[in-house]
């Protein structure tokens, strides 16, 4: 494994146009295209599951992801059992993305781990790093939710449609808005 990929995996600054990472991107492009060609659940469910097992770091039983689905690498994604992901999900997994069990993810949701340098010269040079995203068990992310790098959503929390999660949300709350803020406890 090259130094640049090692830095990415460690959460340090790295250059995404590294040849080794570009090869990983080609792998992801092929696997996402194969998955997205399988169409809706039904007779091709076994084929879809096989692609997910090859694409993701781990995938639980009875996970359903409606195509199209897009990610950066795939191998940083871990999804628990019985999770549902609706159409047009984007999981940018330059860093770890962990999604618990029994999670409901609405259409057009983005889970984003990459972040870029604030310094204009470093940003122009292409440097980025990744901060993990964690979604707890039994979470519901409404349509269009964006979870930013380094944020986590606690178990049993509901995040309203269109919310932007910029920092950790505790378990068992309803959060809405941009930035997402807790409006009430659910338990």
Q: What is the CATH number of the domain that holds 82?
A: 2.160.10.10
Q: How much is the pLDDT for 172?
A: 98
Catalytic residues: 116
* 67 vs 39: CA distance, rounded Å: 7
Full residue range of the structural domain in which residue 67 is found: 3-185
pLDDT-above-90 percentage for the chain: 88
Task: Tell me what pLDDT residue 30 has.
Answer: 94
Confidence of residue 42 (pLDDT cuts 50, 70, 90): low
The CA-based dihedral angle spanning residues 180, 185, 186, 187, taken in that order and rounded to the nearest 10 degrees = 150
pLDDT above 70 as % of the chain:
97
| Token pair of 29 as six digits | 């492009």
What distances in angstroms separate CA 168 from CA 59, 68, 115, 152, 171, one per listed residue? 24, 28, 16, 5, 10
Inform me whether the pLDDT recorded for 76 exceeds 70: yes
* Domains held by the chain: number: 1
**pLDDT tens by residue, 113-170:** 999 999 999 999 999 999 999 999 999 999 999 999 999 999 999 999 999 999 999 9
> Which is it for strands 114-116 and 152-153: parallel, antiparallel or unpaired?
unpaired
Identify the pLDDT of residue 7.
Answer: 93
Please say if the pLDDT value at position 43 is more than 60.
no
Q: How confident is the model at residue 1 (pLDDT cuts 50, 70, 90)?
A: confident
Considering the entire predicted model, what is its pTM?
Answer: 0.94
Q: Which whole number is the average pLDDT over 36-52? A: 78
Cβ atoms of 133 and 114 closer than 8 Å: no
Q: Is pLDDT above 60 for 171?
A: yes
Per-residue pLDDT band for 68 (boundaries 50, 70, 90) equals very high
DSSP class of 66 = P
């Amino acid at each position: 494994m090259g130094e640049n990929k090692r830095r990415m995996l460690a959460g340090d600054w790295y250059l995404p146009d590294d040849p080794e990472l570009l090869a990983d991107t080609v792998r992801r492009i092929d696997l996402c295209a194969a998955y997205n060609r399988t169409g809706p659940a039904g007779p091709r469910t076994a084929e879809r599951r096989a692609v997910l097992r090859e694409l993701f770091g781990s995938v639980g039983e009875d996970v359903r992801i409606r195509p199209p689905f897009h990610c950066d690498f795939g191998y940083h994604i871990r999804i628990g059992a019985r999770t549902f992901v609706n159409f047009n999900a984007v999981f940018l997994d330059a860093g770890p993305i962990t999604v618990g069990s029994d999670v409901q993810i609405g259409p057009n949701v983005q889970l984003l781990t990459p972040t870029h340098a604030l310094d204009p010269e470093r940003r122009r040079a292409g440097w980025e790093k990744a901060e993990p995203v964690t979604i707890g068990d039994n979470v519901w992310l409404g349509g269009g939710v964006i979870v930013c790098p380094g944020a986590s959503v606690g178990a049993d929390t509901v995040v309203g449609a269109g919310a932007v999660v910029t920092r950790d949300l505790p378990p068992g709350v309803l959060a809405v808005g941009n930035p997402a803020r807790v409006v009430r406890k659910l338990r």
